[in-house]
Chain A
């Protein structure tokens, strides 16, 4: 449907998007580990509302066992890009894939965002036939369509990659790559629109991840440890950046939002040498791309009795950086440590020398840190999927990683929650004592904020 003026949630530049009004609702993927149906929840995040901090809406998926993971919008600020302008589509539909079922749900958030409706379901057979992929993962709305990464092929092996969907009909249009070069594993992707460059990261094929982390593959360095640089227009692989197989699971990618800045941040889950986690910066150096480690977060020694079987031999709890997020002014980087239960904020004004500006503990394998709303209740799970408001003032995160992996790090079973922090303009953050969502039998995963957030949109203007 065409509208007369650009969608009011589209902003030409990240700077302008920071002036956007505060979000009132958040959409959260909610998993059901008990073989029942996953759901998309709507959480009230308006402090003025009586429902603040509660689930006020829910749409159940039509089938069981989807394992909803990441999801995204059909359209965003990239529609304003000058080379393929089409600003008169609406940011309206959420594209919600399941990485176990390979089913993609299209969910309409209008006219009543508290009562979203499933309007289309793309079955795994269609995805396999049209694109040759399975386990769809990350969604990004681009200047000329929706791009989705997929962990692998329909048989559960590789290669994983990216496919394209139409922004209005939601048809799967096909594989994105014309020449994938040496790339085999896939996970996250994003781009530098100003440089026509795509970055992709690596996790594992569906066979390597759906039954839990495989210690044999892990200890032999078999999970992903490379970045791939692609030409966005020619759809060709250009360069491979190898961190070394010691660094296992090069996952989340957060390029600078300013399209004139050619650098970004990568979170690496674990180092085989000492169980530390790390943050790397990729950057353009003399026409070529390079990558450099800028943050190391060490493992914390722990009594084996307090550790799950997977970790007892190491006598330490690994930080496990499983998600990161970057504020729209490219100034603050947020880092989730799912293992230690620490959530960190860094000032990355100079991307090569980050400065720690904040730290909060909630949950954790050993720490089990409590929330001020229920100071006596030990929390489990750890800071995981993090989302940030466009103005950079409110941070939300949930505590579940991925059902088969949750069980290995938190064998007692994760009780899932979502919290909110208030971030100060000059650095530092505090837990909002009034906001604590308990998901009950479900598990909260990715959070998307109404109107857009710090990882939903990309921009063509500085």
Chain B
């Protein structure tokens, strides 16, 4: 991950991957539009959904970036890897589904919902190995680490928001929800596997 372009692109694509999951936001935006019978309700749902996702990712990334000041990178990588594998295995064993709130949501509720949804799925944890791998080596500077973390979060969220917005608007305006019945693959199963693989890679590489 020495190429900066590859680093940012990976973050963007990971964001897109999070965005395409119907459970992570676009479907809620579509539902809001249908409930209020207007496209504007879809559009207004996007900022809080993106904000909640960014807060979840950013929180973890910042903690990890700051931790690098105090701890050797290897320790953090091992910690992240163990957390990833643990979360993945627990998701495979017992698929407890996420639940919070209802259908009547304002900006605040939608932000909290998106934050909790991303956190419950370990979205931030999945981004961490990329951020750690791409971090400039031996930077013991708090400011540099924090800035890198903020940029990583922004690029990731941009990828997430782009896909969320495009899919939500296309589904609401053009395709409708019938496709949901056939093409809503069990991303949670793939996701759990992805968490474990990411964890193992982070541990071994």
User: Using a CB–CB distance below 8 Å, which chain A residues touch chain B?
Assistant: 2-6, 8, 10-13, 16, 80-88, 143-144, 193-196, 232-233, 259-260, 460-462
Contact = CB atoms under 8 A, between A and B. Distances in A.
A461 B186 contact: no
Given A3-B186, A12-B177, 4 more contacts: A16-B177, A85-B22, A86-B98, A461-B31
Q: Sort A-B residue pairs by CB-CB distance and give the 3 closest, nearest first.
A: A86-B97, A196-B102, A82-B28
Interface of B: 22-23, 27-28, 30-31, 34-35, 37, 95, 97-105, 113, 177-178, 180-186, 188-189
A317 to B, nearest CB: 44
B152 to A, nearest CB: 27
A13 B35 CA distance: 12
B99 A82 contact: no
B29 to A, nearest CB: 8
Given A196-B103, A233-B102, A82 B31 contact: yes
Contact of A83 (B102, B177, B178): B102
Given A2-B186, A4-B189, A83-B103, A12 B181 contact: yes
B23 A85 contact: yes
B50 to A, nearest CB: 16
B72 to A, nearest CB: 39
A194 B31 CA distance: 9
A8 B181 CA distance: 7
B185 A2 contact: no
24 contacts: A5-B182, A6-B180, A6-B184, A8-B181, A12-B181, A16-B177, A80-B180, A81-B103, A82-B23, A82-B28, A83-B28, A83-B101, A83-B102, A85-B27, A86-B95, A87-B180, A88-B188, A144-B97, A194-B35, A233-B104, A460-B31, A460-B103, A461-B177, A462-B35
A24 to B, nearest CB: 20
B194 to A, nearest CB: 15
A299 B105 CA distance: 47
Contacts of A462: 34-35, 37
Nearest to B37: A260
A2 B183 CA distance: 15
Nearest to A86: B97
